[in-house]
């Protein structure tokens, strides 16, 4: 992976003031799966779509990922991190068959960090899965989604072609939603965000505002997020 620091000052010439990101998890070696797709969306819409916790049963509702029927009340603990927030380690939804494929008793942790990185780290017995999604702005109406998965779980080798296809299907489904959303955004509506389901989207905006304010004032970034339990139904 190549991370590029883009300074707000076009004449900036020197070492980036921030180190490249470090992703938790100790799955070594090269990635098992890499895929990417360009979405016709501004970076902000792509980020918010990515972290929307309730879209999965509507957008990714295949037999292998969700039960056909039945949504459940969710309560998830969140905490601030260096440049974002984390959904703290928890057993994933029982209705999600992807996790059930891993067997055992999986525990997952999902982290978001500015500018647009989200990674899920699953521990199941001695095995790990680290799934990283990076968003790269191409221009103000195009965003590249890069999906990278490392794992030492035996099931990934066994079902590699199927997993590869599945990642593709997921990306296409999100891309189709972006295209539908663009139809609505043509009319420049004010976006209706609902707590707690859209709290992460609001945090993203707060993080960005604080990042820019702290850069302008030449002071350290101070994470505005406080630890909280969010509840929604999905």
Q: Which is nearer to Fe ion, 49 or 115 (CB)?
A: 49
DSSP secondary structure, the chain, as one string: -------SSTT--S--SSPPP--S----SS-SEEEEEEESS-HHHHHHHHH-TTSHHHHS--TTTS-SS---EEEEEEEE-SSEEEEEEEPPPTT-HHHHHT-S--EEEEEEETTTEEEEEEEETTEEEEEEEEEEEEETTEEEEEEEEEE--HHHHHTHHHHHHHHHHHHHHHHHHHHHHHHHHTT-PPP---TTTTHHHHHHHHHHHHHHHHHHTT---------EEEEEE-
Whole-number minimum distance, CB 173 to Fe ion, in Å? 6
Q: Which is nearer to Fe ion, 120 or 152 (CB)?
A: 120
Q: Which is nearer to Fe ion, 174 or 198 (CB)?
A: 174
Whole-number minimum distance, CB 55 to Fe ion, in Å? 6
Q: Which is nearer to Fe ion, 32 or 66 (CB)?
A: 66
Q: Kindly list the distances between the CA atom of residue 77 and the CA atoms of 83, 89, 109, 117, in Å, as whole numbers in the listed order.
A: 17, 8, 10, 19
Whole-number minimum distance, CB 115 to Fe ion, in Å? 19
Total number of residues binding Fe ion (CB under 5 A)?
Answer: 1
Q: Which is nearer to Fe ion, 66 or 153 (CB)?
A: 66
Q: Which is nearer to Fe ion, 39 or 127 (CB)?
A: 39
Whole-number minimum distance, CB 170 to Fe ion, in Å? 6
Residue 198 interacting with Fe ion (CB under 5 A): no
Which of the stretches 1-9, 148-156, 172-180, 217-225 binds Fe ion when contact is defined by CB under 5 A?
A: 172-180
Which of the stretches 18-26, 144-152, 167-175, 217-225 binds Fe ion when contact is defined by CB under 5 A?
A: 167-175
Q: Which of 39, 174, 178, 198 binds Fe ion (CB under 5 A)?
A: 174
Instruction: Using CB under 5 A, list all residues that contact Fe ion.
Output: 174
């Amino acid at each position: 992976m190549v991370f590029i620091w883009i300074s707000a000052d076009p004449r900036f010439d020197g070492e980036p003031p921030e180190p490249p990101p470090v992703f938790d998890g100790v799955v070594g070696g090269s990635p098992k799966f890499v895929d990417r797709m360009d979405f016709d969306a501004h970076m902000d819409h792509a980020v918010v779509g990515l972290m929307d916790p309730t879209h999965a049963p509507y957008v990714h509702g295949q037999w292998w990922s969700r039960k056909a029927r039945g949504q459940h009340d969710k309560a998830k603990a969140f905490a601030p991190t260096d440049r974002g927030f984390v959904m703290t380690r928890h057993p994933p939804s029982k209705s999600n068959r992807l996790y059930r494929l891993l067997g055992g008793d999986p525990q997952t942790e999902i982290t978001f960090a500015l500018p647009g990185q989200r990674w899920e780290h699953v521990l199941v017995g001695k095995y790990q899965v680290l799934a990283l999604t990076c968003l790269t702005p191409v221009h103000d109406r195009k965003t590249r989604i890069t999906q990278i998965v490392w794992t030492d779980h035996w099931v990934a080798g066994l079902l590699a072609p199927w997993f590869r296809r599945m990642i593709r299907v997921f990306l296409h489904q999100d891309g189709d939603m972006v295209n539908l959303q663009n139809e609505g955004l043509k009319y420049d509506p004010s976006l209706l965000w609902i707590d707690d389901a859209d709290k992460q989207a609001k945090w993203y905006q707060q993080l960005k505002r604080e990042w820019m304010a702290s850069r302008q004032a030449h002071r350290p970034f101070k994470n505005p997020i406080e630890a909280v339990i969010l509840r929604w139904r999905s």
